[in-house]
Structure formats: structure tokens, C-alpha cells
Amino acid sequence: MAKKKSDASRPLGIFDSGIGGLTVASAINKLMPKEHIVYFGDTAHLPYGDKSPESIQKWAIAISDFLMTYNCKVIVIACNSISSVAYDLIKAHVGNKSIIINVIDPVVDFVCDQPKLKSVGVIGTKATIKTDIYAKKIKSKNKKLEVASLATPLLAPMIEEGFFNNKISKTIINDYLSRPKLKGVDSLILGCTHYPLIKPEIEQYYKGKVTLFDTAGIVANHTKEVLNANALLNNGKKTKHHFFVSDYTAAFAESTKLFFKGKVKLEHKNLWK
């Protein structure tokens, strides 16, 4: 794709079903503060984890088309469920108009670069775990690495509702992590962009004995590498971020303010009228 001088000033598009993608957007913003972010949270359809692949693909294509109206130079799929069932479709649909980044491949590459790991656990939504995508991709790079995957469907809705750092969340998290499926793992992939919000509670459970890999920082670093490699890193004037939701919720509004300091204006955009 031929680059123009103005390409670097084009915005970054980021989307997710809800607040989980804000962990990625926040990490990107901290690492690359001059980048202009256009964020879309499909709050009308969350959680994506228990939806059919066909529905997720339909919504993801519509959101990608919307982000492309902002001429986004890169679109980050800040959701494991979408990345696992719609990445190739989105990439083919957008073509050379934008670079598409998913949240799975950078994490897999990072994990496989760690030399001392023997058994990796993966927790995520039903949609992500059903595809077995982490295990398949990890095994393709390192056949000796054992992978144990567990669907944890209550976690994302719990986080969306603000139930974390309390007795309820601790009980649910501990129940999942104590399942036989995860017994003996020496590391754990937080395979949902919501899960960095409960990372402290997961760390409490494992008491430092298990290495945790969360999406946000890994994907932010990968995104910067991609921008640098394509001469797309913005070194010019910082511009205003835009945050869109398909259905306005007070919880999402409050979460946005936590990740992005100051006043954040949420714009309602229904793509399915």
C-alpha cells in the first residue's frame, strides 16, 4: 500500500463489544500519546462471547466500515472473540485501505518467545475458547508447549457490570482458576481484553507462582512496531479522540473516564437502524 505524507496523521481505529477494548486503547494512548484514537464499543450487543460467529462477523464488518469513514490507518480488533472468528474476514473486507491488527497473534508470538514455559493456561469467552485458536497457534510455533484452555463466560459480563475487586468477583474468579483444567499451569493468558481489569485478583489467587500475560500492553507494543515499520507513527500535532457506542450506558461512560482522564464525550451511533 503506497503511503502518503499525510498517512501518519490518520487516526487509529479500535473496537470491542464494550469496555474491555478500553484496556488496549488506554495502553496504546500511554505508549503513543500523539495518536488520534477513534473507538467504537458495541454495547448494544455485548457480551460477544456467547454470540454466534455469524452474528459477530456481521457486526464486526459494520463497525469496520464505520471506522473506515474516518480513514483509519490501522484498525485494532480489541476483542478476542472477534479476533478468533472474524479477523480474516475483516482483513479481506478492508483490503489495502487499512492495516488490521488482532489481539491474538501478538500475544501468541510473545508467549512463544518466553524460553522457560512448559504449560500455558488460557481463559476467555466461550466464542474464543470454542475455536481453540490459542492452542492451535501456540502449538504451530512450539509443539512442546502444553496448552490448557478454559471458557470463563461469567467474567466479562461481571466486569461490564462493575463487579470486580469485591467478594463476588473473588468467588467467581477463584472458582474458575481452581478448575482441574488449569491445574499445573506455569503461565496464564488472559484471553479477553476485559480481564486486565481483574488481573490483581488473579495475581492474588496465584500468589506470584504463575506468570500472567494480558493483552493490553503486548498489543500496544505490537501496534507501535507496525506503525514504525510502515512509517505511520504520528509525530505531529495530537488530535482529539472520538468514542462511539452503539447503545449508551452509564457504566461504559464511567469506565471511559477511568481510562482517559478528563471529560470524555460519548457519541451514540446505531449502525443497525
Tell me what pLDDT residue 1 has.
Answer: 44
Task: Answer yes or no: are the C-beta atoms of 22 and 255 closer than 8 Å.
Answer: yes
* Tens-digit pLDDT profile for residues 199-208: 999 999 999 9
Tell me what pLDDT residue 90 has.
Answer: 98
**Grid coordinates of 123:** 481463559
Task: With cut-offs at 50, 70 and 90, classify the pLDDT of residue 6.
Answer: low
Could you tell me the CA-to-CA distances from 187 to 6, 47, 56, 120 in Å, in that order?
Answer: 42, 26, 29, 5
Tell me what pLDDT residue 262 has.
Answer: 65
- How many angstroms separate the CA atoms of 68 and 119, rounded? 40
Q: Of 194, 181, 113, nearest to 150 (Cα)? A: 181
Looking at per-residue pLDDT, the higher value among 82 and 1 belongs to 82
Task: Answer yes or no: are the C-beta atoms of 23 and 216 closer than 8 Å.
Answer: yes
Q: Of 14, 62, 65, nearest to 35 (Cα)? A: 14
Alpha-helical (H) ranges within the chain are: 21-31, 53-68, 80-94, 105-112, 126-131, 133-141, 155-160, 167-177, 199-206, 215-229, 250-259
- How many angstroms separate the CA atoms of 53 and 81, rounded? 9
Lowest mean pLDDT among 6-20, 145-159, 245-259: 245-259
- How many angstroms separate the CA atoms of 183 and 174, rounded? 13
pLDDT higher than threshold 60 for residue 4: no
- How many angstroms separate the CA atoms of 150 and 108, rounded? 16
Q: Which domains does the chain have, with CATH numbers?
A: 5-102+217-268 (3.40.50.1860), 105-215 (3.40.50.1860)
Tell me what pLDDT residue 21 has.
Answer: 92
Q: Which residues of 64-84 are buried (b: 16+ CB within 10 A; e: fewer)?
A: bebbeebebbbbbbbbbbbbb
Tell me the pLDDT of the chain averaged across its residues. Answer: 92
Tell me what pLDDT residue 5 has.
Answer: 45
- How many angstroms separate the CA atoms of 254 and 266, rounded? 10
Distance of CA 21 to the CA centre of its chain: 5
- How many angstroms separate the CA atoms of 43 and 55, rounded? 14
Mean pLDDT throughout 75-103? 96
pLDDT higher than threshold 70 for residue 3: no
pLDDT higher than threshold 50 for residue 163: yes
Tell me what pLDDT residue 233 has.
Answer: 96
- How many angstroms separate the CA atoms of 29 and 26, rounded? 5
- How many angstroms separate the CA atoms of 189 and 80, rounded? 11
Tell me what pLDDT residue 253 has.
Answer: 81
* Tens-digit pLDDT profile for residues 212-265: 998 899 999 999 999 999 999 998 887 789 999 999 877 778 778 778 876 678
Lowest mean pLDDT among 16-20, 113-117, 141-145, 152-156: 16-20
The sheet carrying 146-151 orders its strands as 146-151, 119-124, 187-191, 211-214
Tell me what pLDDT residue 56 has.
Answer: 95
Lowest mean pLDDT among 4-8, 183-187, 240-244: 4-8
Which residues are part of the catalytic machinery?
79, 192
Task: With cut-offs at 50, 70 and 90, classify the pLDDT of residue 91.
Answer: very high
Could you give the percent of the chain with pLDDT greater than 90? 77
pLDDT higher than threshold 70 for residue 269: yes
Mean pLDDT throughout 92-120? 96
